[in-house]
Amino acid sequence: MRSPEGLEAILLVGGQGTRLRPLTLSTPKPLLPTAGVPFLAHQLAKARAYGVRRVVFATSYRASMFAEAFGDGAGFGLEIVYMTEDTPLGTGGAIRNAARALTCPPDAPVLVLNGDILSGHDIAAQVDLHVSRGAAVTLHLTEVDDPSRFGCVPTDDDGRVSAFLEKTPNPVTNRINAGCYVFQRSVIDAIPEGQVVSVERETFPGLIASGELVLGYADTSYWLDVGTPAAFVQGSADLVLGKLGSPALPGPVGESLLLDGAVVSPEAKVTGGTVVCARATVEAGASVRGSVLSEDCHVASGATVVDSVVGVGARVASGAMLREVVVGDGALIGPGNELTSGMRVWPGVNLPECAVRFSSDV
């Protein structure tokens, strides 16, 4: 069953993305190029496919950049409006602030999406469950190996949420809050306006305690929080490889996605879901796997780049090796450097030849 045409959504995109620095020093996390387009393009295209027609962006950090990127939403077949928090209001406060731009009645469902989640779950089925059961809120739930890093959400046999345990050290289940909610509009309107409110620590536990029906929609489809550099690179590669389908992918799935203007030598090896952005160059003899090569960057002959991000205009010299690394915009990685294990090179930094080594030979 399809979700109702005309469904409205709130998209939470106000965070500063500190875990992704230096990538987010100049660009909000939801706008980072992911599989060839801004991350949010994948979410917007999926929401449109499930019946969403109007989206309210809840913005804060570098708010103007979202309107510059997406305008009025016509390119996605959507109507997009923007609501900005002057000061951060938490997840609940952001949802309440954005709700001032909703047009639906109090008894209508409202989809709420987090701007840093890739998910393959069926939004329509989540909305249908919410409507058919008359729930106050319906949470998308997924299972993870380490639930202590997320909101732990136990449910009874009927799917009713019995508790919401935010980042508890002793989780009672590996089923967690997956960051996509369906709210009854009237429930959003009951959140205090203009105040800092956490839905995870205040709204959801309060609804449960008062006996309101809070449901869990659990499934085992693809799910990824892209809030860290490693997860961001993985998400981009998974989209290119086709592990998660996206209507916004600007090309066929495969080992690599070469955007218009990319220059890749036939003698280079570019695999693992790598994206090579406009005017980026990969020379003969270079090896790139599972990485994001930003606009105007350059990977020289003999360089190796694995599971990494190379920033705009950055250069990786011959013989350099990058593995699970973020290289900021305009940085230079000189010959013979070995960077690995989550290292982050800030924008404009120049690493001379063999400045960083993990092996003893040079």
Catalytic residues: 167
Contact present, 49 and 150 (Cβ < 8 Å) = no
For the CA atoms of 153, 157, 160, 162, the dihedral, rounded to the nearest 10 degrees, stands at -50
Question: Residue 210: CB partners within 8 Å, gap ≥ 6?
Answer: none
The dihedrals phi and psi of 352, each to the nearest 5 degrees, come to: -65, 170
User: Of 310, 301, 316, 304, which Cα lies nearest the Cα of 267?
Assistant: 301
Contact present, 84 and 56 (Cβ < 8 Å) = no
User: Of 183, 176, 182, which Cα lies nearest the Cα of 218?
Assistant: 176
- DSSP strand E in 266-346: where? 269-271, 274-276, 281-282, 287-289, 292-293, 298-299, 304-306, 309-310, 315-316, 321-323, 326-327, 332-333, 338-340, 344-345
Taking the C-alpha atoms of residue 96 and residue 12, their distance in angstroms, rounded to an integer, is 11
Q: Residue 290, SS3? A: coil
Taking the C-alpha atoms of residue 84 and residue 143, their distance in angstroms, rounded to an integer, is 33
Taking the C-alpha atoms of residue 314 and residue 237, their distance in angstroms, rounded to an integer, is 20
Q: Residue 58, SS3? A: strand
CA atoms within 13 A of residue 301's CA, in its CB half-sphere: 5
